[in-house]
């Protein structure tokens, strides 16, 4: 795709066609979630190129995408240790973006469900006893 490329509004609209997709924010940036887990969003770290989209994918899949089309897919220092790929929205075709969103949604939704946070006491029992 040439010119301006795809906006996050288009990404959001495509993602909302997938089951159980939720729109929200994380670190002040728009994110897409399934089952409470982020599967796509605007990267917030300064090492990511402006106009990029972060998508959660398997590490091997990320490496294959980058090797095949490095002008579209990349990673940045901060994201190298995470299972995600950065996509240049100005260069991605709409059909490829739809496939990537499905892949990221599937990758995140088939992982173990997110554990509910428990309300832990502010102090460990050992420390609480020691203060008595």
Residue 99 is part of a domain; what is its CATH number? 3.90.1150.30
Comparing 122 with 34, the larger pLDDT belongs to: 34
The pair phi, psi for residue 48, each rounded to 5°, is -80, 145
How many separate domains does the chain show?
Answer: 1
State the helix-helix crossing angle for 8-15 and 94-109, rounded to 10 degrees.
50
What is the pLDDT averaged over residues 91-116? 88
The count of C-alpha atoms lying within 13 angstroms of the C-alpha of 33, restricted to the half-sphere facing its C-beta, is 14
Is 17 domain-assigned? yes
Reported as a single tens digit per residue, the pLDDT across 18-44 is: 999 999 999 999 999 999 999 999 999
Is 130 domain-assigned? no
Going by C-alpha positions, the residue among 97, 14, 108 that lies closest to residue 57 is 108
Reported as a single tens digit per residue, the pLDDT across 73-98 is: 999 989 988 999 999 999 999 999 99
Domain that holds residue 42: 8-116
Q: Using pLDDT thresholds of 50, 70 and 90, give the confidence band for residue 50.
A: very high
What is the pLDDT averaged over residues 68-73? 97
Is 111 domain-assigned? yes
């Amino acid at each position: 795709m040439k010119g301006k490329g795809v906006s996050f509004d288009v990404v959001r609209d495509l993602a909302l066609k997938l089951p159980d997709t939720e729109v929200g924010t994380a670190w002040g940036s728009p994110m897409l979630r399934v089952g409470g887990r982020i599967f796509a969003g605007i990267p917030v770290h300064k090492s990511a190129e402006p106009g990029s989209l972060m998508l959660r994918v398997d590490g091997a899949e990320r490496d294959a995408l980058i090797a095949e089309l490095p002008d579209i897919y990349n990673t940045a220092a901060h994201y190298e240790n995470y299972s995600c790929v950065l996509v240049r929205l100005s260069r991605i075709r709409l059909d490829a973006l739809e496939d990537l969103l499905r892949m990221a949604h599937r990758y995140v939704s088939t992982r173990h469900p997110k554990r509910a946070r428990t309300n832990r006491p502010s102090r460990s029992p050992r420390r609480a006893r020691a203060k008595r």
